[in-house]
Structure 1
């Protein structure tokens, strides 16, 4: 069976922000290859400050890349204002905080219809809004038309935000921490909604999150990001049952019911304007600190030799000297 080409892909994507007072530029996104296939949900995972939100905003055309390329539907992303307007009809953003993304003075109807009006929709606006609300699980939709955000629960507000994205019939949504502000009892409902939209509409999604548990529940594939680079990528089951990169192992170790002892990472991620030599994770790496990397004969490489950018974002791959040595020697144990 032939694998369809990616719907969205990036090649050697870089985003650097000017440094303060003559300092080196901060490399928020530092050579990222990432693919998202038709009807695929990819979870982009990493702690705060790793660059995942900057990457998401770049995919939406909200941040201009310093170098590299974003491709959508086989065509390079055109960053002109007119082209971006058409592109954003096909790629929609769902923000973390529905309260912050909904105008408190707008009714639900106005909030959902806003995108249609911006893009000059000429069809039946009321029918389109009704269908979007229904798809987002707000039924009967007419019951919500005249409600204001403060009259809704947190889960209902998030569904309105999702309806506002769906009304334009996008091919891809970028969801930035889509359930982080919701109660635990509501999170499952929103995740189930996203899965249903994927199954019913063939909708693709990039879900940006710090929570690997969320990735387990929703994603087909996971990309783990650290200090501007993707350090491990692969099928969700493989990543979450047999993580190879020490950083992925550390993230998984603090999940509820994790089979291993929690790994407490020391220190903070390095300044992206002063990326260290060698593996960019080595100063915090539990494998290096424990002596395992020394015994595997890769400790010097960890400290001095940079790792290549993971090519072809759809592949199962890891950027780690120790993991590469363990793969050659035999199965990689989870720490």
Structure 2
């Protein structure tokens, strides 16, 4: 576990833009985000497809360079020189959504897990390191899997191989992008339990990127809900998911079977990130504004921008209706 005072990973004022198509305005994929991840903490980054969460995750790993803002790891700013990035990626590893796509079908399990060691010039006992990583990922006895190929494994076993490939470098942080989205329901719980065990046994920190608030509930200490490039609600997972305050969070939660209420059907699609609406970026789809309940702040919703939420553990929400005087602010 890291002994660094303060957060292990910290982003401040992060923006990532991509050139617009055919002269259009740049796409603001990440449009002002502060986010901290503490040592031994699991943070869930939640939102619909296209909200910017994968781009944010990749920028935190140095895979996408931000247009502005900063990323720090263990108290030191991220340096984008090739050698510095290589050293950083030994400490912060990515686990992708689709294990079939991230495993070379021509490589054995042993070679897949050993690849990171070879890239980083590991000088110790390679066989012992690979065996240890497979065992920690729940593939036991590990030697039984050394010479097997991805097509010979189940989906859950392939995901464990991918996790082992990250663990073999003994990172302090893993970023897991939809880590169980491609798995059967019966296997999802096993992989989530594995991530929790790794946190408890190794002090591993994790950012789990997901569209599934139910998954966040089962695994995260803290949740950040993202919409159109911004975090719109954040805080301890239990407080956010038992008493959501932002209308968007409420809509996401309403479709879970255990919510007990009627699902909130949002109108339309999220706006194009090259044409972010003025004011609250959710106002064009907001069920509270559409119902008339937020009439007192409707003009602010449509015209007044909201501040970037803090990146730490405090409960915060970016919503004019919630933060108006007398609304539980």
TM-score (norm 2): 0.97
User: Is residue 2:301 matched to residue 1:306?
Assistant: no
Secondary structure of the residue aligned to 1:182 is coil
Asked whether the equivalents of residues 172 and 203 of structure 1 are also in contact (C-alpha less than 8 Å), the reply is: yes
What is the CA distance between 1:330 and its match in structure 2? 4.9
Q: Deviations over 1:139-188 (max 9, x none)?
A: 00000000000000000000000000000000000000000000000000
Cross-structure match for 2:65: 64
What is the CA distance between 1:257 and its match in structure 2? 1.8
In 1, Cα distance between equivalents of 2:134 and 2:222: 28
In 2, Cα distance between equivalents of 1:25 and 1:314: 31
Secondary structure of the residue aligned to 1:122 is coil
* Residues 14 and 265 (structure 1), Cα distance of their counterparts in 2 relative to 1, 3 Å cut: same
What is the CA distance between 1:20 and its match in structure 2? 1.3
Q: Deviations over 1:70-122 (max 9, x none)?
A: 00000000001000000000000000000000000000000000000000001
User: Is residue 2:18 matched to residue 1:17?
Assistant: yes
In 2, Cα distance between equivalents of 1:222 and 1:323: 18
Cross-structure match for 1:6: 7
Cross-structure match for 1:136: 137
Secondary structure of the residue aligned to 2:197 is helix
5+ residue gaps, structure 1, are none
User: Is residue 2:262 matched to residue 1:265?
Assistant: no
Cross-structure match for 2:90: 89
Aligned length: 326
Cross-structure match for 1:204: 205
What is the CA distance between 1:4 and its match in structure 2? 4.3
In 2, Cα distance between equivalents of 1:96 and 1:165: 13
Which range is displaced more, 135-144 or 305-314?
305-314
Cross-structure match for 1:51: 52
Cross-structure match for 2:31: 30
Secondary structure of the residue aligned to 1:12 is strand
Q: Deviations over 1:296-323 (max 9, x none)?
A: x111111111111112343210000011
Asked whether the equivalents of residues 4 and 38 of structure 1 are also in contact (C-alpha less than 8 Å), the reply is: no
TM-score (norm 1): 0.96
Deviation >2 Å, runs of 4+ = 311-315
User: Is residue 2:178 matched to residue 1:177?
Assistant: yes
Superposition CA RMSD, Å: 1.1
